[in-house]
């Protein structure tokens, strides 16, 4: 088969893989920070990379879908690309990919409106970004004709296992909330009696 007959499909797949990888790194960096696996200073240094990779991943994801409009074999049409479950090709899995793309775009771009949304409410909603990424992984695994290649399969499953494990740890309450330091006066009142004053 002449690859030049599948130029748009190949370009779409390439951007999809790059976008998936970038957003996978974004999810891991966010969970590393949320689980306090690094110091606050290192977490602050990671934040610009988290933001840049998120924008890169979202841009590649948009190109992944948009380039399919020009694919003469798939010929999905505007509705097939932008409306979930309307594409003739594997509608369930392509629909999940569309939903994942919209959700990840909403979570990523809401970063710039977090003050208006409220930091606590934004962080609570942001927890579901991992769920959207997993939907994207299912889309890549079940809709991609090359998803069974060893490299791509390892990429999808590797990110999936890491992110699901870390997200589950966060959902079950890890890490434990930090206790506020106790003032010396409170420590003196609550300390056990010892020495001369003990009975």
With 70 as the cut, is the pLDDT of residue 80 above it? yes
Q: pLDDT tens digits for 2-13?
A: 666 688 999 999
Domain holding 140, by residue range, is: 3-174
Lowest average pLDDT, out of 97-101, 144-148, 154-158, goes to: 144-148
What's the rounded mean pLDDT across residues 92-99? 95
5 token code pair: 């007959």
Is 86 inside a domain boundary? yes
Is 180 inside a domain boundary? no
Q: pLDDT tens digits for 107-123?
A: 988 888 888 888 888 88
The tally of domains found in the chain comes to: 1
Q: Is the pTM of this model over 0.85?
A: no
Helical packing angle, 150-171 and 7-34, nearest 10°: 30
Report the candidate in 178, 92, 174 with the shortest Cα–Cα distance to residue 135.
92
What's the rounded mean pLDDT across residues 65-88? 92
Q: What is the pLDDT of residue 74?
A: 86
Is 193 inside a domain boundary? no
Question: HSE on the CB side for 115, CA within 13 Å?
Answer: 1
Is 197 inside a domain boundary? no
Is 182 inside a domain boundary? no
Is 66 inside a domain boundary? yes
Tell me the percentage of the chain whose pLDDT exceeds 70: 85
With 60 as the cut, is the pLDDT of residue 190 above it? no
Between the CA atoms of 47, 157, 69 and 132, what dihedral angle is there, to the nearest 10 degrees? -50
What's the rounded mean pLDDT across residues 124-132? 86
Is 24 inside a domain boundary? yes
Q: Which residue has the higher pLDDT, 70 or 196?
A: 70
Q: Which residue has the higher pLDDT, 83 or 126?
A: 83
With 90 as the cut, is the pLDDT of residue 39 above it? yes
Would you place residue 199 in the very low, low, confident or very high pLDDT band (cuts 50, 70, 90)?
A: very low
Q: How far apart are CA 6 and CA 74, in angstroms?
A: 10
Is 16 inside a domain boundary? yes
């Amino acid at each position: 088969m002449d690859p030049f007959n599948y130029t748009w499909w190949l370009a779409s797949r390439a951007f999809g893989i790059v976008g998936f990888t970038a957003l996978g790194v974004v999810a891991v960096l966010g969970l590393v920070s949320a689980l306090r696996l690094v110091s606050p200073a290192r977490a602050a240094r990671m934040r610009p990379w988290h933001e840049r990779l998120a924008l890169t991943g979202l841009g590649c994801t948009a190109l992944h879908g948009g380039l399919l409009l020009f694919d003469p074999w798939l010929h999905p049409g505007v509705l097939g690309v932008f409306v979930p479950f309307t594409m003739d090709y594997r509608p369930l899995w392509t629909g999940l990919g569309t939903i994942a793309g919209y959700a990840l775009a909403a979570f990523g771009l809401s970063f710039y409106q977090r003050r208006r949304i409220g930091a606590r409410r934004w962080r609570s909603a942001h927890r579901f970004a991992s769920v959207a990424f997993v939907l994207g992984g299912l889309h890549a695994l079940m809709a991609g004709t090359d998803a069974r290649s060893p490299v791509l399969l390892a990429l999808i499953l590797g990110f999936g296992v890491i992110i699901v494990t870390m997200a589950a740890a966060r959902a079950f309450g890890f890490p434990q909330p930090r206790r506020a330091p106790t003032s010396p006066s409170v420590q003196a009142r609550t300390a056990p009696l010892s020495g001369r004053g003990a009975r």
